[in-house]
Amino acid sequence: MSEQVYEAIARSSSGFVESPAGCGKTEAIVRTVGTYCSDPQLILTHTHAGVDALRQRFRKYQVPTSRYHVDTIAGWAWSWVRKYPFNAGYDGPGDVPGWNDVYDSMSALLERDFVKQGILNSYAGVIVDEYQDCTVPMHKLMVQLKCLLPCRVLGDDLQGIFGFRDDPLISWTDMRGAFGNDLGTLETPHRWINAGNESLGRWLLRERTAFRQSREPDYGSATVHRARVQYGNLGAELLRLTEEKEGRICIIGPKARRLNSAVETVLVKRAYRILEPNDLTVLRDLIVVLVDGTDAEKADAAIKFFFDSHGGLSPDTNAFISNILKGEGSRPRLVDRRALFDAHRQGATPILLAELLDYVASRTAVSCKLTESVSALKCILEEHIGSGANLKTLYAEEIAKRKYRTRSSVFRCVGSTLLVKGLEFDHAVILRDPNWQQSWGNYRDLYVALSRGAKSATLIDLAA
Partner 1 sequence: MRIRHIEIRNFRGIKSLSWRVKGDFCCVIGPGDTCKTTILTALDYALSPRTSLSFEDSDFFNQDVRQDIVIQVTLTDWDETQLDIRKFFQESKFAQYKCGLDATGPLAEPQEGGTVAVSVSLRVDGSLEPKWFVVKGRDEGEVTERKPLYATDRNALGLSRLDTYSDYHFTWGRNTILTRLSADNEGNLGAVLSGLAREMRQGDISGHESITECQGVADTVKQESSDAGVKLTALSPKIDIQRQSMTAGALSLHEDNVPMRNKGSGTKKLVAAAMQMKLHGGKNISLIDEIEVGLEPHRIRGLIVRLRNTGQQIFTTTHSPVVIRELDVVKDELYVCRRDAAGIVSLDSLAVVPNIQGPVRNNAEAFLGSKIIACEGPTEIGCLRAYDRYRFEGGSIPVWSLATSYFNADSGGQIKVVCPKLHALGYRTAAFCDNDAQDQISDAEVARLRAAAIHVCQWEAGNSTEGQLFHDLPWTHIPDLLAIIADNHRTLDHATIIDCVIKEPRVITQNLGTDPTAWPESPLLRGVLGELAHKRSWIKSIGYAATVFYFALPLIPDTSAIKSRLGLLWDWVQHE
Question: Distance between CA 135 and CA 103 in Å, rounded?
Answer: 10
Nearer to partner 1, 42 or 457 (CB): 42
Size of the chain in residues: 464
Nearer to partner 1, 76 or 211 (CB): 76
Q: Are 43 and 54 in contact (CB under 8 A)?
A: yes
Q: Where is 88: in which H helix or E strand? A: helix 85-88
Closest CA to 70 of 116, 154, 127, 139: 127
CB 85, min distance to partner 1, A: 8
Nearer to partner 1, 87 or 171 (CB): 87
- Residue 67 DSSP label: G
Nearer to partner 1, 112 or 176 (CB): 112
Tell me phi and psi for residue 405, to 5 degrees.
Answer: -70, 110
- Residue 300 DSSP label: H
CB 140, min distance to partner 1, A: 21
- Cα 440 to Cα 246, 432, 436: the distances in Å are 27, 7, 5
CB 451, min distance to partner 1, A: 34
CB 114, min distance to partner 1, A: 4
Q: Are 159 and 444 in contact (CB under 8 A)?
A: yes
Tell me, residue by residue from 371 to 410, as one string, x for binding to partner 1 by CB under 8 A and - for no binding.
----------------------------------------
Nearer to partner 1, 79 or 233 (CB): 79
CB 116, min distance to partner 1, A: 10
* Residue burial 337-354, b: 16+ Cβ < 10 Å; e: rest: beebbeebeebbbbebbb
Nearer to partner 1, 83 or 240 (CB): 83
CB 86, min distance to partner 1, A: 5
Q: Show contacts with partner 1 in window 253-312 (CB under 8 A).
A: none
Closest CA to 264 of 413, 374, 450, 457: 413
Closest CA to 30 of 41, 21, 20, 19: 41
How many residues sit close enough to partner 1 to count as binding (CB under 8 A)?
A: 18
Q: Show contacts with partner 1 in window 76-95 (CB under 8 A).
A: 79-80, 83-87
How many Å separate Cα 4 from the centre of its chain? Answer: 32
Question: Distance between CA 162 and CA 54 in Å, rounded?
Answer: 22
Nearer to partner 1, 150 or 422 (CB): 150
Closest CA to 286 of 339, 342, 357, 343: 357
Nearer to partner 1, 3 or 111 (CB): 111
Q: Show contacts with partner 1 in window 99-128 (CB under 8 A).
A: 112-115, 117-119, 121-123
CB 267, min distance to partner 1, A: 43
CB 40, min distance to partner 1, A: 8
Contact footprint for partner 1 (CB under 8 A): 69, 79-80, 83-87, 112-115, 117-119, 121-123
